[in-house]
Chains A and B, each alone.
Chain A
């Protein structure tokens, strides 16, 4: 028969593994990402609506961005027609961040909450708040020329 205290410790460890997530969160208030829509462009909108339905944006905005990136970089196609028939320029910096210009309080806030570290910001995004134009990739920065 194994010594009682060894088994006691073992059981405490086993239960402890499952208790950790409960203990860490104990007494914490409800927390959500608290993203902000307070940007000049969104405030100016009559109907507050993203490019696609909000449900789709919440779940699949990265899929959309991937399509955009491939479309622009591989096919040189900059035009995106949304489900509602609106035409947008496929640009992370000018379209997404045009409306969501509060990148830190929108994209980053939610990504921090969901533990997503975007490597996109190495090149995209208005990292330099003093001089945004310097870091935004614009049409003038096109590195890839279309095939004739």
Chain B
């Protein structure tokens, strides 16, 4: 159920958009109102979640460290894996975000004969890299629908992505790779028993939703064509707040767009928030300089204390008179 449920939800959402535009002709709702609402909800949701995170307590340095800490000058520090400076943190963050170094370290436990052993498991890293980079390239390429005149770098990106020159319209490599990546990530959750056991429906839903978006987009490009110039007019209308009627566009576009809107609304309240979240993780964005700098808990309450020295000062005479041992240091400081 945790697998089939999310799949059914995504299929129903796609069917909803299809029926409402193909048969009920609610073009303005699906082409103008819902996209605006989705963008607003996305931005509000992002800000709410970020502010909420920002208010949570990070009193101390808790970076995850994966190498030698900064120490004596003759001990080589792992500057990226155990950064002690802002520059080190920046470098580590950039590499983490662009290349997923922490996934590169993914391990799996294996029983070899009677011994337990750890081996590296790179497939998650490769699948994640494949999906995220394809998605980034696709989203950037989509800007051609939103920018007029189209900047040159987009044309270059399109040419590079389509350089295989297969068929017309040209086959984009990123379209193949995003599906390969997503199918792999899905297969991983389904086939590895331990991963399947810990996967919930909220792990499957984003995968199905993204697959739905990618497949509807791919179908739109290579099978049921849409009038791209017409789509661009509608998108530019939305962006300039002078909406153009989307009535003449094909149904498949509304399915694609509606699934994207669902993603936008869902995004801030889901695990997909790991995208902005990575920048806010104290295990990643702090320098490990606990030995150089004293980090005092900023909201330490000024507790009124009565030290032993003060105690002895107050009762010293009485203690002495009944023969209780006195702390010599305190006595000496007392003179």
- Interface residues of A, Cβ cutoff 8 Å to B: 1-2, 7, 10-11, 14-15, 18, 21-22, 24-28, 30-33, 55, 58-60, 62-63, 65-66, 69, 110, 112-117, 119
CB neighbours (8 Å) of A62 from chain B are 168-169
> CB distance A21 to B239 under 8 Å?
yes
Total residue contacts A-B, CB cutoff 8 A: 99
Find the A residue at minimum CB distance from B279: A10
Q: Which residue of B lies closest to A56 (CB)?
A: B225
Q: How far is the CA of A112 from the CA of B151 in the complex (A)?
A: 10
Count chain A CB atoms within 10 A of each CB in B57, B147, B154, B159 and give the residue with the most.
B147
B residues contacting the other copy or chain, number (CB 8 A): 46
Contacts of B57 in A (CB 8 A): 1
Binding-face segment, B12-20, B46-54, B114-122? B46-54
CA distance A2 to B56 in the complex (A): 8
**B237 at the binding interface (Cβ < 8 Å):** yes
Residues of B within 8 A of A18 (CB): 39, 42-43
Task: Take A31-B236, A117-B158 as given contacts and tell me if A11 and B168 are in contact as well, using a CB distance cutoff of 8 Å.
Answer: no
Is A30 a contact of B51 with CB atoms below 8 Å?
A: no
Please list 5 pairs of residues, one from A and one from B, whose beta carbons are closer than 8 Å in the complex, sorted by A's number. Answer: A1-B298, A10-B276, A18-B39, A28-B240, A60-B225
Q: Is the CB of B280 within 8 A of A32?
A: no
Q: Are B233 and A26 neighbours in the complex by a CB distance under 8 Å?
A: no
A36 → chain B closest CB, angstroms: 14
| Interfacial chain B residues near A65, Cβ < 8 Å | 168
Partner of B280, one of A10, A69, A113: A10
- Are A58 and B240 in contact (CB-based, < 8 A)? no
**In the complex the two chains form, is B144's CB within 8 Å of A115's CB?**
yes
The answer to whether B226 and A1 touch across the interface, beta carbons within 8 angstroms, is no
**Contact present for A11 and B50 (CB under 8 Å):** yes
From A6, which residue of chain B is reached at the shortest CB distance?
Answer: B54
> Which chain B residue shows the least CB distance to A7?
B54
Query: Which 9 A-B pairs rank lowest in CB-CB distance, beginning with the nearest?
Result: A115-B144, A66-B168, A59-B225, A115-B150, A62-B168, A7-B54, A58-B227, A25-B239, A21-B146
